[in-house]
Structures are given as C-alpha cells and as structure tokens.
Amino acid sequence: MIKPDGVHRGLVGDVIKRFEQRGYKLVGIKVLVPSRELAAKHYAEHDGKPFFPKLVDFLSSGAVVAMVFEGKDIVRTGRTMVGATNPLASSPGTLRGDYGIDVGRNVIHGSDSVESAMREIALWFKADELADYTPAWIYE
C-alpha cells in the first residue's frame, strides 16, 4: 500500500513500476481515503503502542493506493524491495531507502507474512475486485 505521503509525492507510478519490472503480477488496485476505523484495523497489531494514534491519524489523512501483487516469494521479496521500517536504516535501492528519512513518512506498507497478507487483502478488497489471469509472456 502506498501511504498518503507516497501518493502526495507522486510516487505511485514508480512503486508500481518496480514491482512490475521485477516480474510481479498486479491483480488488485484501488485508491481510497481510509477511515480511521479501517486504518486502526489494518494496524491492529500495533494498538496500544505509543506511535499507534499518530499512525492511524496519518494513514487516514489522505489517499492511499492499496494493491495486491502475486508472484514467487512476493511477501519476502516485497519487504526487501520496501526496505527497513526506518528509512534511515534502509539501503539505497529500496523504496524507503530511496525516498525517505522519517519513520512516520516511509511511503509504503508491505505485508510482513503470508498470513498478514491474507488478512489485509480481505480487509481492503472484495473477492471480485481481484483479477484472475496468467501473463504467459513472463511466467513459464
């Protein structure tokens, strides 16, 4: 998910491009301004932590782009492409390492496990909003 800072900064195209050129398949995408309730559900694992209120405020402060990508090892590779939570600790070449310096403005969210991805996909998308197709010119 591209967070409000990434959308405001015009980084949507670059984020999608990086996943596309790596070979991942975009199967779902939507733009929305999340409610505080949806943002809190998304980050429920952090409820009670000191940064939680700010996190929910920020995620619901503007438009986000929610996406579902498919492909080999997408969760692990996706997290590598996203970079470390704190952009200052993210390597150049990662999204956060290329675009951020502040932990509260780190451009993008990436699911941290397959289980989290399944939960988050169900939270943000209806089943009929995900496309079922095979781009046979990339995958054997």
Give the total of residues touching Mg ion (CB under 5 A): 1
The entry of ligand RTP, Mg ion, none near residue 110 (CB within 5 to 8 angstroms by kind) is: ligand RTP
The entry of Mg ion, ligand RTP, none near residue 104 (CB within 5 to 8 angstroms by kind) is: ligand RTP
Q: Least separation, in Å, of the C-beta of 134 and ligand RTP?
A: 28
- Mask: binding to Mg ion, 97-136, rule CB under 5 A, as x and -? ---------------x------------------------
Give the total of residues touching ligand RTP (CB under 6 A): 10
Does 60 bind ligand RTP (CB under 6 A)? Our answer is no
3-state SS, the chain, equals CECHHHHHCCCHHHHHHHHHHHCCEEEEEEEECCCHHHHHHHCHHHCCCCCHHHHHHHHCCCCEEEEEEECCCHHHHHHHHHCCCCHHHCCECEHHHHHCCCCCCCCECCCCCHHHHHHHHHHHCCHHHCCCCCCCCCCC
Q: Least separation, in Å, of the C-beta of 135 and ligand RTP?
A: 26
The entry of ligand RTP, Mg ion, none near residue 51 (CB within 5 to 8 angstroms by kind) is: ligand RTP
List phi, psi (to 5°) of 126. -90, 155
> Quick one: tokens of 22?
């790596």
Residues at the site binding ligand RTP, with contacts judged by CB under 6 A: 46, 51, 55, 85, 103-104, 106, 109-110, 112
